[in-house]
Amino acid sequence: MNKQTIKDINWQGKKALVRVDFNVPQSDDGHITDDARMRAALPTVDYLLNHGAAVILMSHLGRPKGGPDPKYSMRAVADHLAALVDAPVAFVPATVGAEAERAAAALQPGQVLVLENTRFDPREEKNDPGMARELAALGDVFVNDAFGSAHRAHASTAGVAAHLPAVAGFLMEQELAYLGGALEQPASPFVAILGGAKISDKIGVIQNLLRKVDAILIGGGMANTFLAAAGYRMGKSLVETDALATAATLLTEGAGVIHLPVDLRVASAFAADAEQRVVSIEDVPADWMALDIGPATIAHFSNRLAAAKTVVWNGPMGVFEFPLFAQGTVAIAEMLAGLRGATTIVGGGDSAAAVRQAGLEMKMSHVSTGGGASLEFLEGKELPCVAVLNERAA
């Protein structure tokens, strides 16, 4: 990565305007139920505080409709953050404007200020230049540490960079180093594992990876569409009929590289307690649906992974929310956790959640915080919020 980071700035006496991804789940009574994204930003926040900066944090939370909604206020996030950092944490119920400006002006080195939800301002998602200028007025240097939002050009993620020096935080740097390294200089054999519900979400990723990998292992709901395109009857399984032609083309282009399931765990209904059994891909019952890969597929995929030196995984192998149909996903996670001398990168979203659910997050080289962003990166797209960061001098 040839972008400047927070290590390239002298922070003494400066105000760091930091875009973080604190879009965290909350209980009905407003308590944070999973603070993984907050903890991921702590190295950046701590570095800034320890190097003389005052830290102003901004993030979106949820999908508020049309304006402020107490359900999505950042106040609870600020309260939770106070228990995670060794510094005073204040909250201001404004994102821009006079109240936010007064709070930012009063902020001293070693202190943290959390702004209100950026999406309470309808201009945020429009990347409005006026809002970007108002945000920039609060700080001296813009730090983007929100990889999970790096594919969205919003006022707080990209627009503000037009008005302030813009550098990457440690989390952003780490994401780009791991994902960029996998695409640009992967150790071989390089294996990609792709799952999730829809092939349409990953067509570009498959097309890009076909030129770089030694094998692509496909599971999850998207495998149904590939199997249907290969001529197998999939019963009531999720199949994207409008993607069948694309799937057939990819199978031709990826002959010898794309590996599909050889057996499936099928169910009588989409339910955690449904009747289930393992069948060959040739024997899916007409009234049943595939909800996980089967043991023979797990063995086949494990054989392909055994010698891998670089692995990128995006998307679960089945409906991992149901324990009966999480077996394929957990088995793949355990296989990756046991690889020696390999770089294992787990894309964000459901695959990251599955790895955490299996208690194996710390045994992966890197678990991404960005589902959509990691997908677009793997697709070979330039992320708009990365493009605006200052280049490091050659």
DSSP 295-307: HHHHHHHHHHHTT
Cα distance between residue 15 and residue 286, in whole Å = 63
| Distance of alpha carbon 45 from alpha carbon 110, whole angstroms | 10
Cα angle 192-196-277, degrees, rounded to a multiple of 5: 105
Inter-residue contact 54 to 88 (CB < 8 Å): no
Q: Note the maximum CA span of the chain.
A: 69
Q: Of 75, 126, 198, 381, which residue is the catalytic one?
A: 198
Note if 372 is an active site residue. yes
Distance of CA 347 to the CA centre of its chain: 6
Residue 195: phi, psi to the nearest 5? -140, -155
Find the catalytic residue in 19, 37, 152, 202. Answer: 37
User: Among residues 159, 195, 349, 370, which one is catalytic?
Assistant: 349
> Is there a catalytic annotation at residue 102?
no
Choosing from 30, 338, 372, 380, which is the catalytic residue?
Answer: 372
Q: How far apart are CA 118 and CA 159, in angstroms?
A: 13
198 is catalytic: yes
Burial (Cβ within 10 Å: 0-12, 13-18, ≥19) of residue 63: exposed
Q: For residues 300, 304, 307 and 309, what is the CA-based torsion angle, rounded to 10 degrees? A: -140
CA angle centred on 266, ends 223 and 225, rounded to 5°: 20
The catalytic residues are: 37, 198, 349, 372
